[in-house]
Amino acid sequence: MNRMTLAIVVTVAATAALAWWIKADWEMGWLLWMLVLPAAGSALGLVAALILRGRLEIVTAVGFAAGAAALWVAMSTPHQWAGADPTQAERRAAALAGSTHLIEARLRELLGAGVDLQSVQPSVVGGRVRKQPFRFLPEREPAVIRLSVTFALGPNRPLMLQLDERDSLTATPEALESIRQAPWVIREPALTRRFPAPALSVAGHGPWTPGDVVGVRLEQSESEWSLLLLRVGGEAGLETVREVSGAESRAGLARAAAQAGRPVRDVRIYLSRGAGVTYLPSARFDFIGLPEDRRANLRLIARLEGDDIRYETADWFDP
């Protein structure tokens, strides 16, 4: 009886080991095991019965049943499953995504430019346990933490960062080279971070090539504003080329109105939209000129041309 029990145990264990060894994936599983595993279980039971002197019919039947059971268990079990690493990596990725100042400093170091961070999307790839066919030991795939970052000031497409073995955020050389050649965008957080003005307007809607000069109007009120010419890119991100005061702008707009035969007694901001950034459809700023003869208001334009500002009049219906 002890030999019979031992033969059955050996048969079941050998069949389970065979199933584990053969296990590959869903596609090949049915084709392979439906033909091999029950017959292999019977053969193993027969061998165990002969060696341990158990009853052949009983041990062979048990071997066949063990093969069928191993087939069912193996087919209901995926050839890869989640390990413990992804859960830990997800918690670490979430904590890392909250360290925006550290990520931003690393981005500036990698790109050699004064970019500003807009948002971070953490993700974890890998970390699964895989069982390759015809191998006993499973393989553990390392969990990799990735951060997809978008820029408030910087390239107009996201950059994928990855945490390496030294706990340093890196990017592939190809990704860095591609992102350096991408045009830049300027979004509201990048401007409000640099210029404490209630309202900001940008001439043009971007994106801009690094090195382009962009005009920004800082509006404190209808009667108080200044125009900045900023160079996009470089270590500062936005470098001030020069500032044109509101008084200087008023004088330039008044000269443009006088040349048009419509002297003005005051110049006001055309449309103040409150706090926030307004992207205008063309590289110009609109103002209202109040004519001296008190007729209909005059539309005045400060138009950005290269690194200079040109003042002119325009019809209200001009684009």
Q: What is the DSSP string of 156-204?
A: SS-EEEEE-TTS-EE--HHHHHHHHTSPEEE-HHHHHHH---SEEEESS
% of the chain beyond a pLDDT of 90 = 19
pLDDT for 76-134, tens place per residue? 666 666 665 667 777 887 877 788 899 899 999 999 999 999 999 988 877 677 766 65
The owner of tokens 């404190």 is: 220
Tell me the Ramachandran region of residue 274: left when phi exceeds 0, alpha when psi lies from -120 to 50, beta otherwise.
left
pLDDT for 273-316, tens place per residue? 655 676 665 667 888 888 877 677 888 988 888 778 899 988 87
- What's the rounded mean pLDDT across residues 223-237? 89
- Cα separation, 314 vs 285, whole angstroms: 11
Residue 60: predicted pLDDT: 66
Q: Are 75 and 29 in contact (CB under 8 A)?
A: yes
- Cα separation, 288 vs 262, whole angstroms: 12
Look up residue 142 and give its two tokens.
Answer: 């390392």
pLDDT for 152-186, tens place per residue? 999 999 999 988 767 788 899 999 999 999 999 99
Cα dist. 28→35, 128, 173, 205 in Å?
12, 20, 39, 55
Residue 221: CA atoms inside 13 Å, Cβ hemisphere, count?
A: 2
Pick the range with the lowest mean pLDDT from 37-41, 160-164, 198-202, 212-216: 37-41
The predicted model scores a pTM of 0.68
User: Mean pLDDT of all residues in the chain?
Assistant: 78
